[in-house]
Chains A and B, each alone.
Chain A
Amino acid sequence: MVEPDIATPSIDTDGGFDFDDHFFGLVVLEKHDPRMVAKVRESWLKTRRFCREHLVPHVLSEDRKNMADPQYISWDLVRLAARHGQLSRFIPPFFGGGGEGAPAAMGPYAEEQSAVDTGFSGMLGGHGLGLVGLALTFNMRVLQRVAEKVVAGEKSETPYLIDAAITEPTAGTDVEEVELYPKARLISHAKKVPGGAILNGRKVFISTGHMASDHLVFMPFDLKDPVHDYGCFIVPKHAKGFSLGRKERKMGHLVSTVSELIFEDCFVPEEDIVLQTADGSGGSDPDRFAVLLETVLGITRTAVGAMGVGNARGSFERVLALAKRTLHKGRTLVNQQWAQTLLTNMHINVVTARSVYLESTFALMANLEGGLAGPLPPVLETALARRVFANRWFKKVFHSEKLRARMLDQLLETKPEGRARIQFMSSLSKVVGSDAAMENGHMAVEFLSRAGVRHDRGVEKGFRDAKLLQIFEGTNQLNRLNIFKHYLGRRLPGVKVF
Chain B
Amino acid sequence: MTHPGPSDLQSFRDLARRFATQELEPRALEMDEYPFRPLDRGVLKAAREAGLLDVMLPEDRGGAGPSVEAFCEILLTLAKSDAGFASVVLVSTLAQQGLIAWGAPGLVESRERSSLIAFPAYDLPSDLQRDLKARKQGDGFSLDGKVEYLALAPVADAMIVPATLNDPDRVGLFLVDSAERGISIGDPVLSLGLRSCPVADVGLESVKVPAERLLCRDAGRAFAELAERFRPAVAALAVGVLTASFEAAMSYAKQRYQGGCMIIEHDQVRMMLANMAVVAESGNALVRAMARAVDGGESWALPQAGLILLTEQVSRATTDGVQCLGGYGYMRDYGQEKRMRDAKQIESLFGAVPLKRLDLLTEILGKS
Contacts and interface: CB of A to CB of B under 8 A. Distances in A.
Interface of A: 1-3, 64, 67-69, 167, 170-174, 180, 183, 185, 204-205, 248-252, 328-329, 338-339, 342, 438, 442, 445-450, 452-456, 460, 463-464, 467-468, 470-472, 475-478, 480-481, 498
Contacts of B315: 442
A471 B323 contact: yes
Chain B contact-residue range equals 35 or more
A13 B344 CA distance: 26
Given A183-B259, A251-B330, A329-B127, A453 B319 contact: no
Contacts of A250: 330-332, 337
A22 B27 CA distance: 48
Contacts, number: 144
Given A251-B330, A464-B341, A477-B268, A455 B354 contact: no
B192 A447 contact: no
Contact of B189 (A68, A248, A455): A455
A35 to B, nearest CB: 41
B193 A453 contact: yes
Contacts of A68: 36
Given A249-B331, A447-B352, A449-B351, A476 B323 contact: yes
B327 A463 contact: no
Interface string B345-368: 101100111110010000000000
B170 interface: no
B124 interface: yes
Q: Which of B126, B193, B268, B352 gathers most chain A CB within 10 Å?
A: B352
B221 interface: no
B327 A471 contact: yes
Contacts of B193: 453
A477 B323 contact: yes
A468 B348 CA distance: 23
Interface in B184-208: 189-193, 199
Contacts of B332: 249-251
B266 A471 contact: no
B260 interface: yes
A449 B323 contact: no
Interface string B57-81: 0000000000000000000000000
B192 A449 contact: no
B319 A438 contact: yes
B140 interface: no
A5 to B, nearest CB: 9
B212 interface: no
29 contacts: A1-B124, A1-B127, A1-B352, A1-B355, A67-B36, A205-B327, A248-B331, A250-B331, A250-B332, A329-B126, A338-B358, A442-B344, A445-B348, A446-B353, A447-B352, A448-B352, A449-B124, A449-B348, A449-B352, A449-B353, A450-B123, A450-B149, A452-B348, A453-B191, A453-B193, A467-B340, A471-B329, A477-B266, A477-B268
Contact of B327 (A167, A183, A456, A460): A167
Interface in B146-177: 148-149
A472 B327 contact: yes
B296 interface: no
A1 B326 contact: no
Contacts of A468: 330
